[in-house]
Amino acid sequence: MKKIAYFDAGIITPEEILIAADLVPIRLLGNPNIGIDKANEHIPPTHCVWARNILEQAIKGLDSDIKGVIVTHGCDCTNREFDIWLECVDLDFMFFLNAPLKRDKTSLKFFVKDMKELITQLEENFNVSITNEKIIEAIKLMNKIRNLLKEISEYRSKMILKGSEFHHIVKNVQQQDKKEALKMLEDKLEEIKTKTSFTDKNLKKIFLTGSVIDDTEFIKFLESLGYQIVQDDLCIGTRYFWDIVDETEKPIKALAKFHLSKPIYSTKVPSQKRFDFVKDLAEKYNVDGVVNIAQKFCEPILYDHPFMSKKFKELKNPIPYLFIEMEYNRESYKQLATRFEAFAEII
Partner 1 sequence: MSKAYVKKSKLLKATLGLKNIMGRHFLAIEQAIRDGTPTAWATSGTPVELLYAMDVQPMLPENSATISAARKYSQKFIELAEDQGFSYDLCSYFKTNIGAVESNVDVTIGGINKPTFMLSSDVICDTHVNWFQVQAERMNVPHFTIDVPHVVSNTNNRQYNYFKKYVAEQVWELLDFIQEITGHEMDMERSKEVAKNSYELSMVWQDIYELRKNIPCPISTKDTFGGLFPLFTMPGLKAPIKLYKRMYREAKARVDAGIGALEQENYRLMFEGIPFWYNLKYFAMLEKYGAIIVYEPYTYAFSKFMNPNVTKDMLLNNPIEAMSELMLSFWYIYDLKTRIQKFKETVEEWKIDGVLLHNNMSCRPNACGLYDLKRRLGDDYDIPCLIIDADMNDPRKLNETQVTNKIESFIEILRERKKK
Residue type, 282: A
Cα distances (Å, whole numbers) of residue 148 to 110, 199, 309: 31, 25, 32
Contact call for residues 299 and 331 (beta carbons, < 8 A): no
Tell me the C-alpha distance between 117 and 210, whole Å: 31
Size of the site for ligand SF4 (CB under 6 A): 15
Cα distances (Å, whole numbers) of residue 280 to 28, 141, 159, 277, 283: 30, 29, 20, 5, 5
Tell me the C-alpha distance between 39 and 42, whole Å: 5
List binders of partner 1 among 69-98 (CB under 8 A): 73, 75-77, 79-84, 86-88, 94, 96, 98
Residue 212 partner contact from partner 1, ligand SF4, none using kind-dependent CB cut-offs of 5 to 8 Å: ligand SF4
CB of residue 321 to partner 1, shortest distance in Å: 11
Backbone phi, psi, residue 289, to 5°: -170, 165
CB of residue 9 to ligand SF4, shortest distance in Å: 3
Tell me the C-alpha distance between 121 and 218, whole Å: 38
114 CB-near residues (< 8 Å, 6+ apart): 97, 98, 99
Alpha helices in 22-162 (DSSP H): 49-60, 76-88, 105-126, 132-157
- 300 contributes a contact to ligand SF4 by CB under 6 A: yes
Tell me the C-alpha distance between 233 and 254, whole Å: 22
Mark residues 46-65: x for contact with ligand SF4 by CB under 6 A, - for none. Answer: --x-xx--------------
- 339 contributes a contact to partner 1 by CB under 8 A: no
Residue 215 partner contact from partner 1, ligand SF4, none using kind-dependent CB cut-offs of 5 to 8 Å: none
Stretch binding ligand SF4 (CB under 6 A), from 21-29, 125-133, 151-159, 295-303: 295-303
Residue 9 partner contact from ligand SF4, partner 1, none using kind-dependent CB cut-offs of 5 to 8 Å: ligand SF4
Residue 274 partner contact from partner 1, ligand SF4, none using kind-dependent CB cut-offs of 5 to 8 Å: none
From the list 2, 60, 113, 330, which residue makes contact with partner 1 (rule: CB under 8 A)?
Answer: 113
Nearer to partner 1, 157 or 211 (CB): 211
Residue type, 240: Y
**Residues within the interface to partner 1 (CB under 8 A):** 41-44, 46-47, 73, 75-77, 79-84, 86-88, 94, 96, 98, 100-102, 106-107, 109-110, 113-114, 117, 267, 269-272, 294, 296-297, 299-300, 302-307, 309, 323, 325
